[in-house]
Amino acid sequence: MESFEAKQSSTWRTFFTCAIPIMQRHGEEGRQAVCDALAAWGAERGSLLAKRHVEKGIKASLINFVRAHDLPARLIWPVREVEVTTTKVIVEIDETPQDEAFEDAKHSELGSLWYQHSYPAMAAAYLPGATAQWTRLRARGDETNRLELHCGEMEK
């Protein structure tokens, strides 16, 4: 059975190599299909993260979505916590391997799609009622990535 890390690497490679031709060949319809696929993947990842947290006795919360995230890339991202409350978490991430790959390939728009469509679905599936928005993205020309998470409920 394929390891979790290998599955994530495979997902990343598939997205990176397939999204460009899909959007080039199918225009706006292709772009929407890519966005829908990213949202579906994000929702699946959020559900799996919630399940892992339950199994480990970790309470689902906005801060645990950030601090106890299980994506391999998260383990090496330099995350700076800007604001942390029970209903709001804002973090900044100055660089990620994904950002570098998108920039090197001259396809920063893929980074924007990746973050903007997968993370909102991931957060909502992890903690119902949670929202996630990237208010800054290097892929859009910002100096840093800034993720803002909100939830009206204290905890799940």
Mean local confidence (pLDDT), 88-106: 86
The whole-angstrom separation of Cα 142 and Cα 135 is 9
Specify the DSSP element, H or E, that contains 147. Answer: strand 145-150
Distance of CA 98 to the CA centre of its chain: 11
Q: pTM (2 decimals)?
A: 0.84
What SS3 state is found at 149?
A: strand
The whole-angstrom separation of Cα 59 and Cα 3 is 25
Each residue's pLDDT tens digit, 45-95: 999 999 999 999 999 999 999 999 876 666 677 889 999 999 999 999 988
Neighbours of 140 (CB within 10 A): 14
Each residue's pLDDT tens digit, 29-39: 999 999 999 99
Per DSSP, 106 falls in state T
Q: What local confidence, expressed as pLDDT, does residue 4 receive?
A: 38
Instruction: Tell me the CB-side half-sphere exposure of residue 84, using CA atoms within 13 A.
Output: 12
The whole-angstrom separation of Cα 27 and Cα 25 is 6
The whole-angstrom separation of Cα 145 and Cα 70 is 19
What SS3 state is found at 53?
A: helix
Q: Which CATH number fits domain 4-150: 3.40.50.300, 1.10.630.10, 3.30.1380.20, 3.30.300.10?
A: 3.30.1380.20
Q: What local confidence, expressed as pLDDT, does residue 153 receive?
A: 54
Q: What local confidence, expressed as pLDDT, does residue 7 receive?
A: 43
Per DSSP, 72 falls in state G
The residue type found at 143 is E
